[in-house]
Structure 1
Amino acid sequence: MIRRLLHYCSPRARHLVIAELSLVVVAALLQGIAFLLLVPLLRSLFIGDLNAASTWLIAVAATAVGYVVASWFASQIGMQASTAVLDSLLERLGDSVVSLPVAWFSTDRTGLVTGLATQGAMFVSTMPYAILRQILAGFIAPATVLVGMYFFDWRLALAMTVMVPIIAIGYRWLSRRIGRGDHAHSLAVAEASNRVVEFARAQPALRTAGESSIADRLVEEALEHQHKEYRGLLITGGAGIAIFAGLVQLSITVLLVVGAFLAVGGTVDIATLIALLVLGVRFNEPIVAAGELGGGVAVAKTTIDRLDELAVVPRLSEPEHPATPADFDVEFQGVTFGYGGDPVLRDLSFIAPASGMTAIVGPSGSGKTTITKLIARFYDPEAGTVCIGGVPVPELGTDVVAAAVAPVFQDVYLFDDTILNNIWIGDPDLSRDEVIAAATRARVEEIVARLPGGWDARVGEGGSNLSGGERQRVSIARALLKDAPVVLLDEATSALDIGNEIAIGEAIDQIRADRTLIVVAHRLQTIMTADQIIMLDGEGGIREAGGHAELLAQGGAYARYWRERVDAAGWKLSRHD
């Protein structure tokens, strides 16, 4: 466990933990020696040899002073080590999270990551100081006394030694029992956290569902499952601790029986027997306490296991020397991809030319959003290649792709910060005036005008103070500020009214000349102004591709799709002679 913890520590934290535990070992040894020295001291007092008693008393005092000094330094270093370990764990967790493929976050991992970053990291960081120190002292000091007992009476020492394997097995069984219970409990806590967060985020939609809504039931079931696992952890842990304490008490019983037998036979002097019995009873307590704390090690192990699991999550391949795209057209070459099941895209091939706008249309579930996620390299295809500027994205690497692509997806998340700062993260190096200028292009100033605080108005958690359309406009402004050569708009105007859609359309028109725009949309105005339209067939392939007028003239699937959309929108097309 210590080795696994040190793996996640920075060099400074590692040195502090090793120094702390080394001092703890020294202190425990000195404590054991000090108690061993009490045997000749008590025996000298018992027989009235005051000169010998004085000598042993000085030895006990000197050893005790060494113990106090070592313990003090261990405590001081231990507090520093806890802070350093916490910093290391959070840094490693952050590095691991940002290196994970974006696809890993498609499942809600909020509860897992939150638990690791809060209770988990905090508990592990305090473990060397609050738990391991007491466990080491609880076993090393009694072990020192046990070894020393052989110098006074090997028979009593042997009686204690016989119980050591039994106590060791009991301790290991207790740790594993509590560890299994904590693992199940941590999973239940993560699931309950996910449900509570989901419930809070979906409140606007859930208010109309009534008290007996499915969401209410799911939250209640998750919380009840969490409580059930916690009760099970308390019961199994409590029973295990009681059994372990019984094993330790059994060792004292064995010592008493053997000591009484030797005393009756006259083969051990009373002074030595009393001193050794006192030591045996005295060190019963640290071992029991160490057993109780052993469950804490098992709990900390659960967090380390979670960090290990994050470390082995498959990452996307990264090139040693990232390539540079020749331009910024986007090409799919025989791409096949599914989300661990049946392919959503099958042998898909097309080119979205640079400095042009390509619209992706098709029935629901045909893979429109999947195309944008493959371009942004949330995933790599199962077969075929996605290229930017003629270079496969794995050869470009995630960082190059992230710098070249600005995605705006349907689900917009804003940080609980100001409107301006939510846009500013698109390019932190720009000035405030430059950020406001980009935001104005997306008509964000209309949102700012109605909010107290203007550009410095807070948007709330997830952007809860803004409407869906307003959140999308902030997200689009962020993408414009990034100034990436490839812009992906996935239903980016779906939540806007007509006036705001026109405003965003004008902003899009301004950047079409020098960017590759790939738009997934059902809005007629967006579709008909595209330079190229890719219509998916719903089976993972392309049914038709071409310009709006061209596809209408063919009278095929796209023409039928267009007429259905026009009729649904209530458009009236007039014909001019």
Structure 2
Amino acid sequence: MIAMLLRVLGHQYAGPVRRTVALMTTTAVVEGLSYALLVPVLRALFGDTPSDGWPWLIAFGAAVAAYAVLRYISDLSGFRVGTTLLRGMYHRLGDHLARLPIGWYDTGRVGEVSVLASRGVLQAMSVIAHMLAPFISACVTPLTIVAVMLAYNWQLGLAALAAVPVVIAVQAWTARSTAAADTARAEREREATDRVVEYLQAQPVLRAGGRTTERFGLLDDSLHGLQRASRRYALSALPGIVGLTLTVQAAFTGILALAAYLALGGHIGTAEVLAILVLAARCADPLLSLAEIGGRMRAARNELTRLESVLNTEPLPEPAEPVHPSGHALELDSVGFRSVIGDVSLTVPQGGRLAIVGPSGAGKSTLLQLLARFHDVDSGAVRVGGADVRDVSTRELMSQIAIVFQDVYLFEGSIEDNVRLGRPDATEAAVRAAATAARLDEVIERLPSGWATNVGEGGALLSGGERQRVSIARALLKDAPIVLLDEVTSALDPVNEAAVHEGIERLMVGRTVVMVAHRMRTVQHADHIAFLDNGRIVEEGTHDEMLRRDGRYAALWNMSLAASE
């Protein structure tokens, strides 16, 4: 468990963790040894001169006090190290998630990452702070007491020692029997989280369909599935709990019977029998707690396994010797990517404008993602300024590119905070100029709090057009030489479309631009147009050239004209 914890976090935490484990182990040993002093105490109390027990009572009190101090120090160390590990895990997980390919984030990952980043990390990192000390105490203290029993009476010590392999076997069997059930429960929990997120996001659709009070079938099914999986997990753990209880009780009964036999035979005295039984009873309590602690430790280990799986997912590789792009021209050279893009070659000279059009699902947005290296191509090459994007550091590549997506995501905070995301160190004048160029100033003027207006989670407190203006202002502030536009006006009303279109025109001035659009009037002034279908270019040329060919592009153009009339 500790080895996996250090493997997941990194060995820079090995020193504090090992010191904490050593301190907790010492504390458990001292606890066990303190109970050993009960034997001479009881022997003196039941002897001819009970007053002889005072030194032993004082020693017992001193041992208990030493144990209390050690327990306080070890628990405090556990909390401190646990807090450090928790902070380290959040940092490592966050940094790693930020480096993973965008393609890794499919719809099934939402629930998985949500559970891992919340309950999963807390449960895994709580091992040091909350579970390790009682687990070590439940294992080491009984073993120390068994060693004490062996020292006082080897027959009773061996009887107690015989229970150790049985307890270990029961714990191992319980772990195996609950493994599959715990995996199934984790999968159902991830699915239920996905369905909850979907249910919340689908509220407008559900209410528009009049389904405001009835249950959402997919969510109900996933919650029932989670309930059944949790029940199966509890039932799978029950035999182990019962087995451990029976083993401990049987061992105690056996020690009691053997002690009675030895006492009746005159081999040991009454005081020794009573002391040994007290020690045996003290062994039973932590052993019985092993069932609960062991279950929590296994659950934490399973979360660690899932965290390790995510952290072992390979991010896009960084070049060992990064190259620097020479200029801002773009090139797609025989690019192939999965089954989405096949043998696409395009060139955009520095300062040029390329428009990509085509039916939905043709791979247009994927091409933009390949240019920004959200994925690595399977074949061919993507070049920026003559340099393969795989040979350019991610930091430098992203500094060269500004992206305006169709679906704008804003972080909860003020409008100014979201605009400054493009360049956090920008001056106030630069931020205001970017807002004016994007016509965001019109929005800010009519909001009561102006620049300090909170946009809500995901920008929910702003309209789609207002969010898009914030996104354009952010891109303008970044002032990157390459701009990628992904259908930025496809879902806007005429007023916002005109404002956003004006902002886009200002954003494109003097920059290398690749735009994906459904509304044809936004692409007709592009230097070059590529018509994409099924991941392949079926037509390309200027607007006038493609109209003269009277092909797929011309048909799409005529259709858009007819729709606008």
Do they superpose with TM above 0.5?
A: yes
- Which amino acid in structure 2 is aligned with residue 194 of structure 1? D
- Is the counterpart of residue 522 in structure 1 residue 518 in structure 2? yes
Percent identity reads 38
Contact 2:485 2:516 in 1 (8 A): yes
Q: CA deviation at 1:50?
A: 4.5
What's the CA shift string for 1:43-68, capped at 9, x where partnerless?
23323244753443343233223212
1:15 Cα shift? 4.2
1:200 and 1:255 map into 2 onto residues whose CA distance is 60
The letter of the residue matching 1:226 is: L
Residue by residue over 1:110-157, the C-alpha shift from the partner in whole angstroms, topping out at 9 and shown as x without a partner, is: 332232232222233332232111111122111111112222211111
Match of 2:506 in 1: 510
Within the candidate set 444, 451, 460, 1:448 is matched to: 444
User: RMSD between aligned alpha carbons?
Assistant: 2.3
CA distance in 2, matches of 1:371, 1:35: 72
TM superposition shift of 1:159: 1.2
The runs of 5 or more residues in structure 1 that have no matched partner are 571-577
Written as runs of structure 1 = structure 2, the 5 A alignment for 1:380-419 is 380-419=376-415
Q: Is the Cα contact below 8 Å between 1:325 and 1:391 reproduced in 2?
A: yes
Q: Mark the CA change 1:10 to 1:544 in structure 2 (over 3 Å): closer, same or farther.
A: closer
Contact 1:179-1:299 at 8 Å conserved across structures: no
1:167 paired to 2:162: no
One-letter identity of the residue aligned with 1:53: G
Q: Distance in 2 between matches of 1:183 and 1:329?
A: 49
Secondary structure of 2:539's counterpart equals strand
Measure how far apart 1:13 and its partner are: 5.7
- Residue of structure 2 in register with 1:574 after alignment: none
Aligned counterpart, 1:436: 432
Q: How does 1:174-573 map to 2 (within 5 A)?
A: 174-211=174-211, 216-338=216-338, 343-536=339-532, 538-570=533-565
Residue 382 (structure 1) shift = 1.0
1:288-326 Cα deviation digits (max 9, x unpaired): 113321111112112211220111112212101211111
Size of the alignment, in residue pairs? 565
Q: 2:215, 2:47 → 1: CA distance? A: 79
Aligned to 1:60: 60
Alpha-carbon contact 2:75-2:133 (below 8 Å) kept: no
**Which one is further off, 391-400 or 110-119?**
110-119
Q: CA deviation at 1:10?
A: 7.4
Secondary structure, counterpart of 1:283 in structure 2: helix
- Seen in structure 2, the aligned counterparts of structure 1 residues 102 and 71 have a Cα distance that, compared at 3 Å, is same
Kindly state the Cα deviation for residue 358 of structure 1 after the two structures are TM-superposed.
Answer: 0.7
**Separation in 2, partners of 1:12, 1:369:** 41
Residues 99 and 316, structure 2, Cα contact 8 Å, conserved in 1: no
In structure 2, what is the Cα distance between the partners aligned to 1:177 and 1:95? 35
Secondary structure in 1 matching 2:326 = coil
CA contact (8 A) 2:329 2:385 kept: yes
Letter in 1 for 2:356: I
The secondary structure found in structure 2 opposite 1:87 is helix
Counterpart Cα distance in 2 of 1:275 and 1:242: 28
For residue 415 of structure 1, what is the amino acid of its counterpart? F
Measure the CA separation in 2 of the matches of 1:432 and 1:173: 65
Tell me the amino acid that sits aligned with residue 544 of structure 1.
E
Kept in 2: contact 1:8–1:92 (CA 8 A) = no
Per the alignment, residue 573 of structure 1 pairs with none
Following TM superposition, by how much is the alpha carbon of 1:252 offset from its aligned partner in structure 2, in angstroms? 0.8
Deviation string for 1:238-285 (max 9, x for gaps)? 443232222111111221232233334333333322221221122201
SS in 2 for 1:348: strand
1:463/1:205 CA distance change after superposition, 3 Å: farther
The separation in 1 between residues aligned to 2:214 and 2:416, in whole angstroms, is 37
2:88 aligns with 88
What is the letter of the counterpart of residue 480 of structure 2?
A
Q: Residues 337-386 of structure 1, C-alpha deviation per residue, up to 9 Å, x if partnerless?
A: 12xxxx12111111122202111011222111110111111111111111
**SS state at 2:46 partner:** helix
The superposition leaves residues 385-411 of structure 1 with CA deviations (integer Å, 9 ceiling, x where unpaired) of: 111111111011322222212122222
Contact 1:406 1:479 in 2 (8 A): yes
Which amino acid is the alignment partner of residue 135 of structure 2? I
Partners of 1:303 and 1:562 lie apart in 2 by 54
Q: Is the 8 A contact 1:46 1:271 kept in 2?
A: yes
On the 8 A contact 1:356/1:512 being kept in 2, the answer is no
Residue 9 of structure 1 and its aligned partner are, at CA, apart by: 4.9
Deviation string, structure 1 residues 496-522 (Cα, Å, up to 9, x no partner): 233433333333333434211111102
Shift in alpha-carbon separation, 1:402–1:197, aligned structure 2, 3 A:
same
CA distance, structure 2, for counterparts of residue 22 and residue 118 of structure 1:
29
- CA distance in 2: counterparts of 1:424 and 1:504, whole angstroms: 19
**How far 1:543 sits from its partner (Å)?**
1.4
